Chain A
Amino acid sequence: MDIQALERKAAEMRKTTWEMIYRAQNGHTGSDLSCADILVALYYQVLHQTAESFSDPDRDRYVQSKGHAVEILYSVLADRGYFPKEDLLTYSQFNSPYIGHPTNHINGIELNTGSLGHGLALSVGIAKAGKLDGRDYHVYTLMGDGEQAEGSVWEAAMAAGNFHLDNLTAIIDHNRLQISGLTVNVMNSEPLADKYRAFGFDVVEIDGNDMRQLVDTLQTRNTPGRPKLILADTIKGKDISFAENRPEWHHKIPTPEQYQQGLAELDEQIGGLVHAK
């Protein structure tokens, strides 16, 4: 897909997510919108994986460590055919597998996340297994920046460097916010780039809401022997004007008026991207 088409897809996925959250009155709105472009770049352009080949041992792997941004993941997986789109209607309903964090009862989801600080270590295990088995799949994991406070992240980072996992790419959704406010104020984890470099990673800093930069960076092979960290500067709540950079939109649910306004803004986005062709 060309960059424009991917951008349009990201806007559509934001809309699906916005609708899903409003319908269920449940979800992590700001966290989803923040990383929509990252997921679209991965699932439509980068990952060697399809709905049909999900059990293929050579598939690329994606582990979403920031599991709370599950609505955008469901939106993308449904659109990529991992399960019927109608399933999204059961999100947050009694006895549905589509709950507020990823579970591997759902086709396309590798492992159950939601407790922060697990995804990088899971990915180290998967990448190490790939090395042991001589398979050349690549492992991608997406973390939050607030999540960087968990010590387990750094144990895993050390292991990734130690094992020279050049089949591993970690992405930080660097939106500078967590539930209680600015990450620098809650628990300052900066400078993240320097820290990951010190742990043996190549670090690339990009605009994480810029599709071209995302695709280019994700498609560049790792330096032999080195894991890669993409520090993706993003805007939490991206593309809903009144949610952007607002900590309360971490898991705020739109009112009926906000919902309509948000829909209008997203529709305008989608429309603009059609005409620009």
Chain B
Amino acid sequence: MPNSAKVGDIICTELIAAAKKDRNILALTTDSRGSASLNPFARALPDQLIEIGIAEQNSVTIAAGLAHSGKRPFAFSPAAFLTMRSVEQVKDDVAYSNTNVKLMGISGGNSYSYLGNTHHSLQDLAITRAIPNLEVYMPADQFQARALMHYLVQSEHPAYVRIGKRALADIYTSEAAAFQRPGQGNVIADHGNDIALVAAGETVQVALDTAAILTQQGIRAQVIDLVSIKPLDTDLLNRVADQTHRIVTIEEHSIYGGLGSAVAEALAPRGDTKVDIIGFPDEPAIAGTQDEVFNYYGIDADDIAARTVRQLTH
């Protein structure tokens, strides 16, 4: 087993396996099969891949029609176009009409790097989270991607999955530990009750690295992988708030409306827990590689650790 993998490759493999057994499972692409890592699917099951062309709105609504007629479509497009260009199609035809469409947002977050802000999806969580009857997931490694796919291929619920571009290092050692059911997050490191770091997707690794730096400085952190942005594991968040009263959220998303907002909304009524939201500021993202951009905005372990130490000691 390699110790890192591209989530897109895992999803393709799982989708092929499921689609061989269930011929109603379909992949829809919008001139995006390559970046969706779906070329193996296209070769293995050409009749179960429907190419829509460069038409993301059309793809979502065609998927809704297919789902209404007993099919189980997985619609793959770049996350920015899938969630923002097609937002009304997602809201009305998928979520509101309750059609079983799985919206697979590829090259999510900042992963298109130098292609710029037309291609970034740094608002997709804010948008999808606000739509009733839509589950929202962000897999953090290959085990989680696999477990999530096992759930998605048999679930009857509309869902949005945000997938990054680069290979992700393993966080987990088993699928069972990585994802159990909608609305369940995981405590993946528990050094103590000074602070809790909450993340999802690519920033889970950042949170783990931050916790390691904090440990060296005598600050004991818990690390939470939410994976299910919606439904949200409010029980877990409340338990963590009871223990730490201090939470830092780390996300590859605008600081408005994403994971940090979800956590803050859940915990605000308590009135006893500080939530520090780390993510992209309210401006067009600067140009750079993903790592350069994360560093620039302080979404990296060194910066987050330093910021946390400052806040805990003042």
A residues neighboring B (CB under 8 Å): 24, 26, 67-68, 92-97, 99-101, 103, 112-117, 146-147, 149-151, 178-180, 183, 186-187, 189
Contacts and interface: CB of A to CB of B under 8 A. Distances in A.
Contact of B118 (A93, A101, A147, A149): A101
B55 A150 contact: yes
Interface class of chain B by DSSP: loop
Contacts of B55: 149-151, 187
A96 B287 contact: yes
B45 to A, nearest CB: 16
Given A26-B114, A94-B286, A150-B55, 4 more contacts: A68-B115, A100-B115, A112-B117, A180-B29
Contact of B116 (A114, A149, A189): A114
B76 to A, nearest CB: 12
Contact of B115 (A101, A112, A151, A183): A101
Interface in B77-110: 80-81, 85
Interface of B: 29, 31-34, 51-55, 57-58, 80-81, 85, 114-119, 286-289, 292, 296
A151 B118 contact: no
A67 B288 CA distance: 18
Pairs A-B, 10 closest by C-beta atoms? A187-B53, A114-B118, A149-B53, A100-B115, A99-B116, A94-B288, A149-B55, A92-B114, A149-B54, A115-B118
Contacts of A189: 53
Contact of A179 (B34, B114, B288, B296): B34
6 contacts: A68-B115, A99-B114, A150-B55, A151-B55, A180-B32, A187-B55
Contacts of B85: 115
B53 A101 contact: no
Given A114-B119, A115-B85, A179-B34, A149 B114 contact: no
Given A94-B287, A180-B33, A151 B119 contact: no
A149 B77 CA distance: 14
Contacts of B58: 149, 151
Contacts of B288: 94-95
Contacts of A112: 117-118
Contact of B53 (A93, A96, A103, A186): A186
Contact of B31 (A93, A94, A180): A180
A143 B128 CA distance: 30
Nearest to A90: B287
Interface centre among B54, B80, B296 (most CB of A within 10 A): B54
A103 B114 contact: no
Contacts of A178: 31, 53-54
Given A94-B287, A95-B288, A96-B287, A117 B54 contact: yes
